[in-house]
Chains A and B, each alone.
Chain A
Amino acid sequence: EDQVTQSPEALRLQEGESSSLNCSYTVSGLRGLFWYRQDPGKGPEFLFTLYSAGEEKEKERLKATLTKKESFLHITAPKPEDSATYLCAVRFGAGSYQLTFGKGTKLSVIP
């Protein structure tokens, strides 16, 4: 059973059509949930870290929220340049440092 599950696997939006990506996790002892953006042929680019339920963070058209079982990445009025794969990762357990990643959501924003 995957510890981090992202949905949907792929999402196509029209420019300006707001939506949300989901990341659910089954680990205990969460020490951080991370969102990254990955463009083709490049390494993941850090977006947000969330630490506790109820926390929210925003950056331009993106807003990340966290509950006890899942996180949402809300995209408001997306533009074509927001097209990328969005990765969710968790760090859990005492003294841990490695990240456990989901498989990602590939977002395509059509002009």
Chain B
Amino acid sequence: GAGVSQSPSNKVTEKGKDVELRCDPISGHTALYWYRQSLGQGLEFLIYFQGNSAPDKSGLPSDRFSAERTGGSVSTLTIQRTQQEDSAVYLCASSLDRGREDEQFFGPGTRLTVL
């Protein structure tokens, strides 16, 4: 498939454990975004990568959250010392970053449950 893929689709972990979520963007897309969707809330922006530029981390909720993007393609979102309030669906999106004419294409998400 040519869409954005994410893994795992579901992750159950215990409070205090670290988790890694993976995103494979659409080939050729230079921009990559992470969002979080909590129950009853809208999608919340977390972080943005564009090419080789420094990422915009302004949406990360705490220093327990970090993300990297290797080789301008695959991205990993890491949550350290998970808390129950981290339970949510984590969505990745990618785009061609064509300025105003930019459409973000979303992956299916990773549902994270922290017990």
Residues of A within 8 A of B (CB): 4, 31-32, 34, 36, 41-46, 49, 51, 87, 89, 97-104
Contacts A97-B48, A99-B43, A101-B42 given; indicate if A41 touches B108 (C-beta within 8 A). Answer: yes
In whole angstroms, how far apart are the Cα atoms of A41 and B102 in the complex? 25
Residues of B within 8 A of A (CB): 4, 31, 33, 35, 40-45, 48, 50, 56, 59, 91, 93, 97, 100-109
Taking a contact as CB atoms closer than 8 A, the residue among A42, A46, A51, A101 that contacts B103 in the complex is A46
Contacts A45-B106, A49-B103 given; indicate if A87 touches B43 (C-beta within 8 A). Answer: yes
With A43-B93, A100-B42 already in contact, 19 other A-B pairs whose C-beta atoms are closer than 8 Å: A32-B100, A34-B104, A42-B108, A43-B4, A43-B106, A43-B107, A44-B43, A44-B91, A51-B100, A89-B43, A97-B97, A97-B102, A98-B45, A99-B104, A100-B45, A101-B42, A101-B44, A102-B42, A103-B42
In whole angstroms, how far apart are the Cα atoms of A17 and B99 in the complex? 38
Across the interface, do B40 and A103 meet the contact criterion of CB distance under 8 Å? Answer: yes
Taking a contact as CB atoms closer than 8 A, the residue among B4, B42, B48 that contacts A98 in the complex is B48
Chain A residues whose CB sits within 8 angstroms of the CB of B101 once the complex forms: 49
In whole angstroms, how far apart are the Cα atoms of A97 and B93 in the complex? 12
In whole angstroms, how far apart are the Cα atoms of A38 and B35 in the complex? 14
14 interchain pairs (CB within 8 A)? A43-B93, A43-B106, A43-B107, A46-B104, A49-B101, A51-B100, A87-B42, A87-B43, A97-B31, A97-B97, A98-B33, A98-B48, A102-B42, A103-B42
Across the interface, do A4 and B42 meet the contact criterion of CB distance under 8 Å? Answer: yes
In this complex, the member of A32, A98, A100 whose beta carbon has the largest number of chain B beta carbons within 10 angstroms is A98
Which residue on chain B has the smallest CB distance to residue A102? B42
Q: How far is the CB of A101 from chain B (nearest CB, A)?
A: 4
